[in-house]
Amino acid sequence: MKLLATIKPEDVDGNSPAFDYTTFKPRTAVRAIVFDDTKVALIRVGKQGYYMLPGGGVENEEIITGLRREILEELGCEIEITGELGSVVTYMDRWSKKQTDYGYVAKKIGDAAGIARTAFESSEGHEIVWAAKLAEAIRLVETATPQNRDGKLVRTRDLLLLRAVMPHK
């Protein structure tokens, strides 16, 4: 999959300290821009003031299997993958991780069931938001004001993925 960008803390925060990125442990993750007709799923992180794409870490499984599991956990629905967007490497200093996110386009299949939030997701105030259109999803992510560097990194990563969707629509 094509690498879209590499994002480091200093790219989003001029006050970021210097980090020894060679000590960051690799983490593989997946993200999807999930459409329900024209609506686009986002996760609002209420405590930190930003929106992100649904997805998460791959746990000793194939990337597509991890993506399907993460979407089921976070949105409560099955998906059909309709395209690949590319990957983004993000150095997440809060966790000392070099995270590679693989981005996909998908469409929601069927009705939503229950979701399975982790304790961390609940404490951060995660909630599902369906933007009316792709342009609205981009606007929500773009105009959010993250309260922490994680949020700024996530906003930058997810804007890259959202903007990469245009050729796939």
pLDDT in tens, 73-87: 999 999 999 999 999
Q: How many domains does the chain have?
A: 1
SS (HEC) of 89-128? EEEECCCCEEEEEEEEEEEEECCCCCCCCCHHHHHCCEEE
Phi and psi for 72 in degrees, rounded to 5?
A: -60, -45
Task: Tell me the average pLDDT of the chain.
Answer: 93
> Which residues span the domain enclosing 133?
3-168
Question: What is the total residue count of the chain?
Answer: 169
Q: Are 56 and 121 in contact (CB under 8 A)?
A: no
81-137: pLDDT as tens digits = 999 999 999 999 999 999 999 999 999 998 777 777 778 888 888 899 999 999 999
Q: What is the CATH number of the domain that holds 77?
A: 3.90.79.10
